[in-house]
């Protein structure tokens, strides 16, 4: 049924889904003060595997295919796009780090640091929403690896890693004295940028075809940065880190099967 919908509308629905998962994660503040670390780390590991596989089969491979069809030097375009995505998030992290160090926090310093967490996670969610939008928009060009199924699975992977992000914002805010409603509000707010960037990504792909190879590889670079800098290191803090690594393999395998066997 969803296959018959406009690609932009599908991108909007998919990113609303990823935002809603963040909201569900943030809603745990109404029920718990602490969340089981094993469950959270397993979800992070699984999401990392899905996103690594999606970065190649749903984003980089179609980017190379499209660049060749447009008579571009594919390896140059894809490399520039890939590094640009990672550099954007790298610079964002540095800016927030410098900003937070310059601020002299008083008694409410922890609360301010939590707000910084909201902004930093929001920054990461922009390219994630863009990645989903680009994945749906690229389906219009019938590229190898670009399918509705893989685009939705990418949204699922991003949604899964959004779940602990929502909790990671709302629970600390609750501990800092905010009401449960306010802690939930700020937790879900960190992902509201995803539907916006998702629609923008899909529109850019559909309207400006020449941008597609760059946008696909840009989204891949941003996702790999998030995986390497956040998801895998966080999941590996678990005492059962070998099991968490296995969840990463499971996530990768499922995404790979859906992209290769069913794509």
Q: How far apart are CA 136 and CA 203, in angstroms?
A: 10
Instruction: Mark the ranges of the chain whose per-residue pLDDT is less than 70.
Output: 1-3, 33-35, 96, 99-117, 119-120, 123-124, 144-145, 172, 175-176, 262-263
111 exposure class (CB count in 10 Å sphere: 0-12, 13-18, 19+):
middle
Residue appearing with tokens 């943030």: 26
Cβ neighbours around 177 below 10 Å, total: 11
DSSP assigned state of 31? T
pLDDT score recorded for residue 23: 94
Which run of H or E residues covers position 48? helix 37-54
| Residues contacting residue 131 through CB under 8 Å, at least 6 positions apart | 54, 59, 154, 158, 201, 219, 220, 222, 223
Tell me the per-residue pLDDT of 182-235, one tens digit each, with 9 for 90 and over. 889 988 988 899 999 899 988 888 877 788 788 889 888 988 988 898 889 988
Q: Which of 220, 205, 78 is nearest to 133 (CA)?
A: 205
Contact 215, 130 (CB under 8 A): yes
pLDDT score recorded for residue 99: 65
pLDDT score recorded for residue 245: 94
202 exposure class (CB count in 10 Å sphere: 0-12, 13-18, 19+):
buried
pLDDT score recorded for residue 15: 94
pLDDT score recorded for residue 101: 67
pLDDT score recorded for residue 249: 95
pLDDT score recorded for residue 208: 79
179 exposure class (CB count in 10 Å sphere: 0-12, 13-18, 19+):
exposed
Largest CA distance in the chain: 59
Q: How many alpha carbons lie under 13 Å from residue 102 in its C-beta half-sphere?
A: 6
pTM of the model: 0.71
Q: How far apart are CA 120 and CA 94, in angstroms?
A: 10
φ, ψ of residue 32 in degrees (nearest 5): -135, 155
Tokens of 235: 């999941």
Residue appearing with tokens 């571009």: 72
pLDDT score recorded for residue 211: 82
240 exposure class (CB count in 10 Å sphere: 0-12, 13-18, 19+):
middle
pLDDT score recorded for residue 105: 45
Q: How far apart are CA 249 and CA 139, in angstroms?
A: 26
Q: Count how many residues are written for the chain.
A: 263
């Amino acid at each position: 049924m969803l296959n018959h919908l406009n690609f932009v509308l599908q991108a909007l629905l998919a990113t609303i889904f990823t935002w809603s998962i963040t909201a569900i994660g943030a809603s745990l503040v109404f029920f718990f003060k602490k969340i089981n670390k094993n469950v959270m780390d397993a979800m992070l590991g699984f999401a990392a595997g899905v996103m690594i596989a999606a970065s190649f089969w749903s984003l980089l491979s179609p980017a190379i295919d499209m660049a060749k069809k447009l008579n571009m030097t594919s390896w140059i375009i894809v490399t520039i796009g890939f590094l640009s995505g990672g550099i954007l998030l790298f610079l964002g992290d540095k800016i927030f780090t410098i900003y937070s160090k310059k601020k002299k926090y008083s008694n409410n310093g922890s609360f301010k640091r939590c707000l910084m967490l909201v902004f930093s996670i929001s920054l990461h969610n922009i390219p994630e929403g863009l990645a989903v939008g680009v994945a749906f928009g690229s389906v219009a060009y019938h590229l190898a690896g670009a399918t509705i199924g893989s685009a939705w699975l990418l949204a699922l992977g991003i949604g899964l890693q959004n779940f602990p992000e929502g909790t990671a914002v709302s629970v600390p805010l609750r501990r800092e004295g905010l009401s449960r409603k306010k802690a939930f509000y700020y937790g879900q707010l960190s992902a509201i940028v995803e539907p916006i960037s998702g629609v923008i990504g899909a529109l850019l792909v559909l309207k400006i075809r020449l941008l597609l190879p760059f946008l696909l590889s840009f989204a891949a670079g941003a996702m790999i940065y998030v995986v390497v800098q956040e998801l895998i290191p966080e999941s590996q803090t678990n005492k059962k880190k070998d099991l968490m690594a296995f969840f990463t393999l499971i996530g990768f395998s499922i995404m790979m099967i859906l992209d290769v066997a069913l794509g």
